[in-house]
Amino acid sequence: MKYYLILSGILLFCNCCDLSSTKSKNLSKRTFFDLKSYFIKEAAFLKANNFRIKKKIMLFEETEEHIYEVNDWEKELSLFIESDINKSSWKDRYSLDSTNNKSGITLLHYQAKDEQLFTQVLDIELKNKKVHSIMIINRVSNNVYESQQYLTYFPGKSFNIKKTQEVSMFSKEDFQIDVEYIK
């Protein structure tokens, strides 16, 4: 009987260890929306379908507008790719809120828990499990320089970049880029 109790205790302990290791394996697999992979696939789609862009740049109350052939879509979308938060070392540095509405739209809202992280907010709106829109807020702040970027993306349609930057002892600069895809 004594051996039976000891053996039962050892088996129970081993099972508990197994459960906790399974839980930790599942936690290590936990990732956020893979923004980098999404935009690399989006770049390939845009290239394969020969999209061009109409780009409007607004700086210091001046506006320029041009139509371009894009040779390197990953470079064109680089600000979005650089905003990826899907790094294993950041798994505890963002909170995720998810909401669904009656129209079948899901909003994934990622919020940085640390003000030093570049990407502060990442909102992904899914419609029927496909990306409908992406909104990103990036921020850099130190004693000399402060910059904020507001990025919005509509798959296969357009994107927008608004940037504000302020350097100590210089005036504040704002600029905006609106891009529309042309087939």
pLDDT in tens, 3-18: 333 333 433 334 444 4
> What does pTM read for this prediction?
0.80
The 10 Å Cβ neighbour count of residue 22 is: 10
Spell out the per-residue pLDDT of the chain, length 183, in tens: 443 333 334 333 344 444 333 333 333 444 789 999 999 999 999 999 999 999 999 998 899 999 999 999 999 999 999 999 988 888 889 999 999 988 889 999 999 999 999 999 999 999 988 999 999 999 998 888 899 999 999 999 999 999 998 887 777 889 999 999 998
Lookup: tokens for 106: 């899901």
- Percent of the chain's residues with pLDDT above 90: 66
pLDDT digits (tens, 9 = 90+) for 54-90: 999 999 889 999 999 999 999 999 999 999 998 888 8
- The full set of domain ranges for the chain reads 1-30, 32-182
